[in-house]
Structure 1
Amino acid sequence: MQSQRMHQELQAEVRVIVEQINYINAELIKETNIVDLLKQEYSQQRSKLLDLVPASTSDVDHLAEVILHLANRPKLLHQELDQIRRHKNDLQQQVKLILTKFLNLLQILLQDKNINALERLSLGQASRVESLEKDIVELEGILYDTEVETRQLRESYKLLMHQIHHHREQVPKPHRDHRTSPIDEASHECVHPIAELVPEVESIPHSKPHRNIKDKFNQTAADLIQSFQKRRCGNTSMSSKRQKTARV
């Protein structure tokens, strides 16, 4: 009985062990399947990684080139800036040369303009000098004529005064009772030869001889002064017109 019981217990333990072995085998199969799946996934990921390696290397090379370019970019920009500065200096020098040439041309034009203006002014001054010389010659002629006329008038006046004085000395003085009596015919007859002796002065009337002679002399001098003033005004107006035309 005990042996049977022990046999049954052993069979029960064997069953348990078999069940455990079956369970372990089932788990092993599952684990093997999982391992296979992991291996497949590993292989796939490895293939993907191997596919990505060339692309990553090319990207790395490109990034390295970009980094080198960016590292050299400040030097290139500095060189370009130096070129721009040199070009700017060249342009400034060219502008200075152009400005100097332009200023020289302006000076030449101004000099030509001033020369032309001076030539016109000199021509105007020359014409003005000629007109003034003509006016001076005319005024000298007028002055000479006036001097000659005044000399003749003075000589005629002196001769007249001498003749009048001589006539007064020859005429007898009237008596006291005949002071208001008129002048006799002899005194009137003596006046005519006195007037005939002076060719420069016109014949003197019988009444008031001194006053008429003085008036005639004053009138002649006034006429001369008036004619001289008219000529002078005409000459000044002509000279002013010439000045205006020369200025224009």
Structure 2
Amino acid sequence: MTAPRAIVTDIEGTTSSIAFVHEVLFPYSQARLADYVAAHPAETAPILTAVRDEVANPALDEAGCVAALLQWHKEDRKIGPLKTLQGMIWAQGFAEGALRGHVYPDAVAGLRRWHAAGIALYIYSSGSVGAQKLLFGHSEAGDLNPLFSGHFDTAIGGKKETASYRAIADTLALPPAEILFLSDVEAELAAAQQAGMAVTLLARDGLPAASPFPVETGFDNILPEVALS
């Protein structure tokens, strides 16, 4: 593979374990959501206003807003006020040392290898940009944020929409063909490929029986050092 000028990578199932997000981060924020809102009235007031707007009920009280947030949390809804609040709770957990971001060792090595080779690195995840920076800034391997040139979340569009990848390419001011997108979700890869990007499927649980995309089980064989020299 010819070295791209930029690599855009997903997080869950790609750089990091899906289990970390769903078995560590989500339970952590869910268990602390109500108490956090009660303890931080000024900081969470705009979030509760956004909840009221979302449910079209301007008279909804704090308990009702919290109930809505908890229901969205249970359903893993990608809703702005919930994502913002989760990020605030996680920020506190990371700052206190209660949380450490999981990043696969091969992903750490790959990101460092590509960065050293002069390839610009970006994250594109459904998690907020703030949450992305927390995970990589407080990772088990240390602060990885200096490796990245930028971050994208669903503010640029849904991850299964071709227009999102075109918008990313426009933002990077690069031809899509010079960008490599990494993900464990074939629908996301299809959208990126439709936009003209090169793609690779991460199959960390083992190779699939068949895939229309290039497949790797980790970062080690994606643009190894010899291909960049």
TM over 0.5: no
More helix by share: 1
**TM-score bracket, shorter-length normalisation:** under 0.3
TM-score, scaled relative to structure 2: 0.18
More strand by share: 2
